[in-house]
Structure 1
């Protein structure tokens, strides 16, 4: 049986598609879907960069720059966001699939399909955050959909705020989706699946907090 990857059908009829993925002996359209998601991510991050989201460190030195110099800095910032989008795409699609492949007997390609759906959800989260950033001035870790706001009230330690800011209702949605997907495709016990998924997301949240901290330092050093 051949399964043709279609990210939209995965959203609209997940149960039937998971069953088809389980029975599939051959996967088609995996890279086509992956490249479509990469293009979508790059476009979204270009848009975010052009709107100036996350460019507060670039803007701090604006008064001392000529219009040309400022535009050059802004262009480099947008280019950096494009590169970040590509790295984000590669990390979300392939690293969790490899890690989960070590503890399950699910073929790697099928886990990549699952992560493509996860990535689509994360892009939806980015799109929802854009108006919050533009009109309310909220950073991603201060989104009302995350625990970052609560963490900010409890501590002033930026790393902790960033860590909890990475935990959102979209992340919880992703976790349930991954558990459901893995349960259908392997014989691992439900507690084992949950433990694997939770460990994976703890790693991702720590990594997201680290990258956010480093990203701020890089931007600050590059544009200062």
Structure 2
């Protein structure tokens, strides 16, 4: 029996994933998923309550009635909470369904277990960003953990800024954990594992960037 231990797996992946390979039963999976989703929802709710990401709405605060402004903030907050609920689940299952046919000798439950760690790191990044956004008055595209800041110095293209802002320390960390995990648990060569992981992350980034850019273009009309 293997007990999912997020902290140990994040900082000692080699030992942790060898244990996962040798196990017959994974324990604590549902609880860890619930914890990650709960923390993600909490970060989104707190950020929305404190006004993180409402800059475009507040620009119109002097031009519209207070009731309309509060309604727009409520809709934004609901959207953030829904995003906080489904984002870690999307990360887990997107990568799992992509990796499963490519690493067929690894059970789906074990692949889900591996994807807990990218979801966990995503949630940690989200929790750390909330106070940073409040203190610095910046948006997600200007997170100090990603390449969005540098990209804004080169171009003002929204799509490119959103795309490169997703390349963060935590995403690279997640990709490294995935590579280590599949190197320990499969018989595929290292070069192929690296290519599969990088390609999957590129597909994920393109999907998220397209969605975020479309939402930004729609905006909240006051």
Q: So what's the TM-score if we normalise by structure 1?
A: 0.91
Show the 5 A alignment for 1:69-88. 69-88=68-87
CA RMSD of aligned residues (A): 1.7
Please give the alpha-carbon distance, in whole angstroms, between the structure 1 residues aligned to 2:52 and 2:86.
18
SS of the residue corresponding to residue 131 of structure 1 reads: helix
Residue 173 (1) aligns with residue 173 (2): yes
Q: Note the alpha carbon deviations across 1:59-111, whole angstroms, 9 max, x for none.
A: 23322444344333322221111111122122101110110112112211111
Shift of 1:181: 0.7
Counterpart for residue 135 of structure 1? 135
Matched pairs, number: 221
Asked if the contact 2:142–2:148 (Cα under 8 Å) also holds between the matched residues in 1, the reply is: yes
Please give the alpha-carbon distance, in whole angstroms, between the structure 2 residues aligned to 1:9 and 1:176.
15
Asked if the contact 1:57–1:223 (Cα under 8 Å) also holds between the matched residues in 2, the reply is: no
Counterpart for residue 59 of structure 1? 58
Please give the alpha-carbon distance, in whole angstroms, between the structure 2 residues aligned to 1:135 and 1:154.
25
Q: So what's the TM-score if we normalise by structure 2?
A: 0.91
SS of the residue corresponding to residue 145 of structure 2 reads: coil
Q: Note the alpha carbon deviations across 1:115-168, whole angstroms, 9 max, x for none.
A: 111111111111222232112122222223211122222222111111111111
Show the 5 A alignment for 1:190-209. 190-209=190-209
Please give the alpha-carbon distance, in whole angstroms, between the structure 1 residues aligned to 2:125 and 2:80.
17
SS of the residue corresponding to residue 26 of structure 2 reads: strand
Please give the alpha-carbon distance, in whole angstroms, between the structure 1 residues aligned to 2:172 and 2:12.
20
Shift of 1:13: 4.3
Q: Note the alpha carbon deviations across 1:29-72, whole angstroms, 9 max, x for none.
A: 21121111111110010011111111123223322444344333
Asked if the contact 2:2–2:23 (Cα under 8 Å) also holds between the matched residues in 1, the reply is: yes
196-205 vs 25-34, which moves further: 25-34
Shift of 1:14: 3.3
Residue 25 (1) aligns with residue 24 (2): yes
Residue 150 (1) aligns with residue 150 (2): yes
Counterpart for residue 217 of structure 1? 217
- Judged with a 3 Å threshold, the aligned counterparts in structure 2 of structure 1 residues 30 and 162 are, in CA distance, closer, same or farther, namely same
Asked if the contact 2:13–2:177 (Cα under 8 Å) also holds between the matched residues in 1, the reply is: no
Asked if the contact 1:141–1:161 (Cα under 8 Å) also holds between the matched residues in 2, the reply is: yes
User: Which residues of structure 2 form unaligned runs of 5+?
Assistant: none
Divergent runs of 4+, >4 A: none
